[in-house]
Amino acid sequence: MKKQKEFKKLRLINTFSEGEIIQGFYLCVEKNLRYTRTKDLFIDLELKDLTGHINGKIWNNVSELNGKFNAGDAVAISGTVELYKDQHHLIIKKINKATIQHYGRYGFDPANIVPTSNKNPLKMWEILRLIIKGIKNDSLRRLVENIYRINKKKLMYHPASIRLSYNYRSGLLEHILSMVQIAKKICTLYDVDKDLVIAGILLFKIGKIKEINSEFIPDYTKEGNLLGHMALGRDIIRETIKNIKNFPDHLACQIEHIILSQNEIISSRSQQKPSFPESLLINKIHDLDSKMNLMEQILEEDLGTGDFTSKYNYFRGPLLKRNGS
């Protein structure tokens, strides 16, 4: 196999200058096949990283390069920066889909192109693997192990939501780990089945891997729009339990109830309310962890002066900044 040429000078979009030949990794936000006035085919792209956006064009080798990537992919690019109508444009010579497997050695880091958890997903996964191994109830441990083994990649890199808490790459994994760590401390204060609480949290948001379609440009899948992550999560659990011999019926029902009683609204008749201590505890842990993450994001993203953030946020009021008096 031919050795790939190393990327020597990776560039972020906000550092581009006219006439430069650049190499780098970017997110392909949009991709459209178009025709010039002379009926020649070209590819029109919208590219981004954490520093900005730029329009890109592929004029040559269109048929060959078109099959190498899709909208929503991270891409490795070589090209030249040109100025057109006072805006930088990137004329692309080479382009390939970028993955950590093939381009990690050349400096590809998804954290440079999309918001990403500041916690290492491999380390988070290893911590959760040990926690799963420590579940004493054999049926619950096998259920969680099977689901996590089959869905490892999505669990490691999916966001937990599109617009609210943990809405960034590997946010789902970070959210799950944070909730488990809270639960391990709180469970000592109450008379609850610790294994059921831990397993319930590990599976609480499992439907998100089918509700949300991508780690880079997350949007709702057709199933996600029509059914929602709770129904999808219950389906994943039911299908997995079918392959676990002698899984207790009462335990299956409890796990399903935990999934279906999420985000409980007491006044709502269309949704299950937590009906036993473990399900109530998991709901409250989820609510606490989600809102703490949202508040952290609001505080980090507010660049205004003064002791308080803007009042236009999820909490509908100004929040005291950490350096506020």
Q: Is residue 271 part of a domain?
A: yes
Residues 46 and 130 in one domain: no
Look at residue 56 in the predicted model and tell me its pLDDT: 94
Query: Domain range spanning residue 241?
Result: 121-301
- Give the pLDDT confidence score for residue 293 in this predicted structure: 94
Q: Please report which residue ranges of the chain form alpha helices under DSSP H.
A: 62-66, 100-103, 121-133, 138-150, 152-157, 171-186, 194-204, 208-211, 222-241, 249-260, 277-301
Whether 164 maps to a domain, the answer reads yes
Average pLDDT of the residues of the chain: 90
Could you tell me if residue 315 is inside a domain?
A: no
pLDDT over threshold 70, residue 207: yes
Q: Give CA separation, 183 vs 47, 76, 255, 262, in Å.
A: 41, 41, 16, 16
Q: For residue 2, tell me if it sits in a domain.
A: no
Specify the number of domains making up the chain: 2
**221 and 95 inside one domain:** no
Report the C-alpha gap between 211 and 66 in whole angstroms: 28
Q: Which of 112, 135, 160 is the last residue of a domain?
A: 112
Report whether 88 contacts 16 (CB < 8 A): yes
**What pLDDT, on a 0 to 100 scale, did the predictor assign at position 258?**
95
Residue 264 has pLDDT above 60, yes or no: no
Q: Which of 112, 144, 170 is the last residue of a domain?
A: 112
CATH number of the domain where residue 100 is located:
2.40.50.140
Let me know whether 46 and 22 are in one domain: yes
Same domain, 228 and 274: yes
- Model confidence at 263, pLDDT cuts 50, 70, 90, reads low
Confidence (pLDDT) at 324:
55
Together in a domain, 139 and 271: yes
- Span 232-259, pLDDT tens digits: 999 999 999 999 999 999 999 999 999 9
Residue range 134-147, pLDDT digits in tens: 999 999 999 999 99
- Residues 145 and 293 both lie in one domain: yes
| Residue 319 lies inside a defined structural domain of this protein | no
Please tell me whether residues 108 and 182 are part of one structural domain. Answer: no
Q: Which of 112, 143, 177 is the last residue of a domain?
A: 112
In terms of domains, do 270 and 214 share one? yes
Q: Is the pLDDT of residue 3 over 60?
A: no
